[in-house]
Structure 1
Amino acid sequence: MRRTTAVLTGAALTALAFPLLVAAPPANALTADPVAALKGRFKAGHGVRIVERAKLVGDGGNPRTVYGRVKGVLEFGPSGVVASDLTSSFELPAEEGTPSEPFAPSRTVTVKGVSYTQGGVYAGSLPEGKKWLRSRDDVLSTTNPAQRLFNPLEPATLRAALAHAGPGRPGGTLDGTRTVVRSGSFTLGELYRISPSARAVLGAKPSAKSAPLKVSWRLYLGADQLPRRAVSSYVQSVRGLTSVDVTYLNDTQYGGWGLRSTLKAPPAAEVADFDELRIGDADPGNVSLNNLFTG
């Protein structure tokens, strides 16, 4: 009886000790829901920092590359991003020389659906004493077509991406947390249907020719299941119109989740509306990034 008791006691001790020898899974393991984690951060007065690098590569007889950079803060409300303060800049091909006014650095603050832009396209046309141009359709700042086509801060986009993603693998450390990287692809048509960001960047529904284009993406999720980096790319051929294939590349990093943010519109005395601009015969807003590849 003593021997049996000793054996049982040893087995019990082994059972008790075993959990101490095996690392317990983190509270937010891969089985956790990244969409729920994202929605949990949609709180008024809080936000996230972004640093975005976008690149357009024209692969033709005269290859050209245009770099775009955006950095700043996105502020959340109960349903997602409701405000932002973003600074944009461009680096044009060397042969283009110094960037013209439309491609000059600009800062855009968007609050309650209204954007206020400083610098950039119409900086030289503002009335005296005015520093910001107000817009309700976000057309006043020059944007890179590769910007945020794949946006993991949209719950529907994130859910659709992860539903068809490949298995996770280590993605290194970003924003102080170890990440797991998932990857997959959409067609341009699918992304346009799912994502408000894609619709804003593309401007119009993809044609029957471009809708099947594959948009590849990689998403890096932290231990808390929040996005830390998103990379996307696709190639669009405009051969026949020109001799160029254009590759769109975007790399956006997210950090400082939960930071305090209370963005406000600029002082009213410093704001001008479009009908107050002093615009000559040449409208700088007509300058397009695509002209750099088709000229």
Structure 2
Amino acid sequence: MRRMIATLTGAAAAALIVPALVAAAPASARTAPADPVSALKSQFTAHRGVKLDEQGKLIGEGKNDRVILSRRAGVLEFGRKGVVASDLTSTFRLPSADRELAEEFKNLFAPTRVITVKGFSYTSGAFYGDALPEGKKWVRTRAGLVSPGSPAQQMVNPLEPATLKAVLARTISKRPGGTWDGTRTVVHSGMITLGELYKVSPTVRALLGAKPSAKSAILPVNWQLYIGSDQLVRRAVSSWTQSMRGLTSLDLTYLNDSRYSGWGAKSAIKAPPASQVADIDELDFEAGGEDPFARLLTTEN
């Protein structure tokens, strides 16, 4: 169980919900930088941020086809070099789960909130159940880049300048993308390999945990970035497929659609009250356990 908890409480990678956001002048009202990377860096100001609304889908194709849907929403707060804090709420569900399976995993499907600030992540949700000490509501862990328990995070993180630059350099096509967050956008589409992303993206390195094998490094990650007239990203879509045959007899396809809005909003994310916080070592877990997402994908329908 401790291994599973470490996976699910790993620290928030881009984290969210709606703390105290104060409306700021829309980024589109200011002079647009010359390119998306410069536009992104211009947003790196203390106590400013961007709202995120992300939907993910993990599709297991094999003996027992199943889909897990995820959603997280909130705000990311910037510092001088990028995202430094976040407040995230995430939920998971099955499109058509039977009652017995839904009941077995009810705590996994309950909303989970993660606040990440000053090097620590604080997680609150039904998953911990009775493991928390009396009077405690939050579990504290060292902060990282991976969102707890999310099976289909955004592989193309447009809030990392190096990642944004590398991805846009592989643009294959451009077309009008409609209006997002009050601004007209242009869709940049292309493909980048998993190995190339691993080299430039801290988020991908945290998600994978280790350098991809030669076979995995060439896996294509298809992407679309919707970029506004102010050169800021309003939407990022990515998808890739990984074969798990030989381990779980599955091909896993990861789909992610992330929406960014309210660029430049004021943000002041704070840690929960210390009296409500417990460290991971204080939790009372039984030994054993396994990854619940693997269980969901391999359980008989």
Q: Where does structure 2 lack aligned partners over 5 or more consecutive residues? A: 1-29
Correspondence for 1:6 = none
The two structures, once aligned, show a CA RMSD in angstroms of: 2.1
1:74 paired with 2:87, answer no
Q: CA–CA distance in 1 between the matches of 2:36 and 2:146?
A: 34
Q: What is the letter of the counterpart of residue 212 of structure 2?
A: P
Correspondence for 2:203 = 197
Q: CA–CA distance in 2 between the matches of 1:238 and 1:278?
A: 32
Q: CA–CA distance in 2 between the matches of 1:224 and 1:77?
A: 20
Q: Deviations over 1:223-267 (max 9, x none)?
A: 110000000000111223343211100000000111110101111
1:45 paired with 2:44, answer no
Correspondence for 2:120 = 114
The within-5 A match list for 1:1-295 is 28=32, 32-92=34-94, 94-95=97-98, 96-98=101-103, 99-138=105-144, 142-283=148-289, 286-295=290-299
Instruction: Give the C-alpha shift of residue 292 in structure 1.
Output: 2.4
The runs of at least 4 aligned residues of structure 1 exceeding 3 Å deviation read 26-29, 137-142, 240-243
Q: CA–CA distance in 2 between the matches of 1:137 and 1:287?
A: 21
Correspondence for 1:13 = none
CA contact (8 A) 1:74 1:83 kept: yes
Q: CA–CA distance in 1 between the matches of 2:142 and 2:50?
A: 23
Q: Judging changes above 3 Å, is the alpha-carbon distance between structure 1 residues 263 and 123 closer, same or farther for their aligned structure 2 residues?
A: farther
Q: Judging changes above 3 Å, is the alpha-carbon distance between structure 1 residues 242 and 125 closer, same or farther for their aligned structure 2 residues?
A: closer
CA contact (8 A) 2:122 2:271 kept: yes
CA contact (8 A) 1:117 1:132 kept: yes
Q: CA–CA distance in 2 between the matches of 1:140 and 1:235?
A: 19
Name the larger-Rg structure.
1
Instruction: Give the C-alpha shift of residue 137 in structure 1.
Output: 4.7
- Indicate the SS of the match to 1:198: helix
- Indicate the SS of the match to 2:40: helix
- Indicate the SS of the match to 1:128: coil
Q: Deviations over 1:109-147 (max 9, x none)?
A: 000120000115324311111111100055997422321
Q: What is the letter of the counterpart of residue 272 of structure 1?
A: A
CA contact (8 A) 2:146 2:203 kept: no
**TM-score scaled to structure 2, two decimals?**
0.83
Q: CA–CA distance in 1 between the matches of 2:250 and 2:190?
A: 26
- Indicate the SS of the match to 1:133: strand
Q: Judging changes above 3 Å, is the alpha-carbon distance between structure 1 residues 142 and 36 closer, same or farther for their aligned structure 2 residues?
A: closer
* More RCO (CA 8 Å, sep 6+): 2
Instruction: Give the C-alpha shift of residue 282 in structure 1.
Output: 5.0
CA contact (8 A) 2:184 2:228 kept: yes
Instruction: Give the C-alpha shift of residue 27 in structure 1.
Output: 6.1
Q: Judging changes above 3 Å, is the alpha-carbon distance between structure 1 residues 140 and 247 closer, same or farther for their aligned structure 2 residues?
A: closer
When structure 1 is superposed on structure 2, of 140-149 and 154-163 the one drifting more is 140-149
- Indicate the SS of the match to 2:130: helix
Q: Judging changes above 3 Å, is the alpha-carbon distance between structure 1 residues 145 and 200 closer, same or farther for their aligned structure 2 residues?
A: farther
Q: CA–CA distance in 1 between the matches of 2:287 and 2:172?
A: 53
- Indicate the SS of the match to 2:67: strand
Correspondence for 1:18 = none
Q: Judging changes above 3 Å, is the alpha-carbon distance between structure 1 residues 253 and 192 closer, same or farther for their aligned structure 2 residues?
A: same
**TM-score scaled to structure 1, two decimals?**
0.84
Q: CA–CA distance in 2 between the matches of 1:270 and 1:241?
A: 40
